[in-house]
């Protein structure tokens, strides 16, 4: 088992590397579409409630021809949770000190035939040490081929580590990415996992494979759909669907709440919101 500080550094370096790979691939897709769009990066620092430096991160945002708005954030923060919030975090009820590092991505696409997507992976340390994350596909206009291929890719990634992972984490995603007040799911699902602890090396290897799988499957789906023509009615359908996405992220999303409760950068936290949405 690696020394504790080395685990934190190794995880942070991987998430930053994954960010670089994803952003490069997304910029390549923009170039293929005849766009010169690039990511704009903004570094931010966090101050802990104690007044001490509390880490920070880098917000990356690109607005292009294919990706109407995509945000890819990495952050590494630590310090103490404030008040009652500590009791809502795994392992922080008796000791509010924490460390967290991870990557978070949300892509809203210009063409309604191209699905929006969310992916994040993270490593947290309280009195426990665990990984969490996942990815889910959010198409305004679902295609069975895309849904099946997305799920097959993540099932293969899960099965390579534990045959129980995929059915468990798929159900977790189905339960989590649900909008109770609308009585609908946010999209067509994927996988979601949290509090995965124990064998650090094995769990880190799985989390890396989740990132690699996303980097493989999502660009393939984008390239398949990004050249399709669409109607004004289909664009309207996309804008209305985005309203549901915004409702989920503002009301139910754990990551949004975690970022706000730990003093994260507001622009980075809310980069998940779509650039344009409609409520009819």
- List residues with catalytic annotation: 118
Q: Which residue has the tokens 């309604």?
A: 112
| Number of neighbouring beta carbons within 10 Å of residue 2 | 12
Dihedral of the CA atoms 271, 272, 278, 280 (nearest 10)?
Answer: -140
Counting Cα atoms < 13 Å in the Cβ hemisphere of 223 gives 13
Rounded distance between C-alpha atoms, residue 165 and residue 191, angstroms:
9
CB atoms within 10 A of CB 263: 16
Sign of CA dihedral 246, 248, 250, 256: negative
φ, ψ of residue 102 to 5 degrees: the values are: 180, 180
Residue 126 has phi, psi (to 5 degrees) of -125, -130
Nearest to 23 by CA among 39, 4, 37, 8: 39
Long-range contacts: 94-98, Cβ < 8 Å, 24+? Answer: 94/127, 95/126, 95/127, 97/126, 98/124, 98/125, 98/126, 98/262
DSSP 33: T
């Amino acid at each position: 088992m690696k020394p504790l500080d080395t685990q934190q550094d190794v995880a942070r370096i991987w998430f930053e590397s994954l960010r670089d790979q994803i952003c490069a691939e997304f910029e390549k897709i923009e170039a293929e579409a005849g766009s010169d769009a690039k990511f704009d990066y903004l570094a931010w620092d966090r101050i802990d409630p104690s007044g001490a430096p509390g880490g920070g991160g880098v917000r990356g945002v690109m607005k292009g021809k294919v990706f109407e708005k995509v945000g890819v954030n990495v952050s590494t923060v630590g310090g103490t949770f404030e008040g009652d919030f500590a009791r809502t975090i795994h392992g922080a009820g008796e000791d509010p000190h924490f460390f967290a590092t991870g990557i978070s991505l949300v892509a809203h696409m210009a063409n309604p035939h191209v699905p929006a997507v969310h992916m994040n992976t993270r490593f947290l340390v309280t009195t426990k040490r665990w990984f969490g994350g996942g990815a889910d596909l959010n198409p305004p206009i679902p295609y069975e081929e895309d849904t099946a291929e997305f799920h097959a890719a993540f099932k293969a990634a899960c099965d390579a580590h534990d045959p129980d992972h995929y059915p468990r984490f798929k159900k977790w995603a189905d339960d989590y990415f649900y909008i109770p007040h609308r009585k609908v799911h946010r999209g067509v699902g994927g996988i979601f996992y949290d509090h995965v602890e124990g064998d650090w090396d094995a769990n880190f290897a799985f989390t890396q494979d989740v990132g690699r799988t996303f980097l493989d499957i999502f660009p393939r789906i984008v390239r398949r759909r990004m050249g399709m023509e669409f109607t004004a009615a289909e664009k309207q359908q996309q804008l209305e669907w985005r309203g549901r996405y915004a409702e989920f992220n503002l009301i139910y999303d754990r990551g949004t709440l975690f970022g706000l409760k730990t003093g994260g950068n507001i622009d980075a936290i809310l980069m998940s919101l779509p650039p344009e949405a409609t409520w009819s």
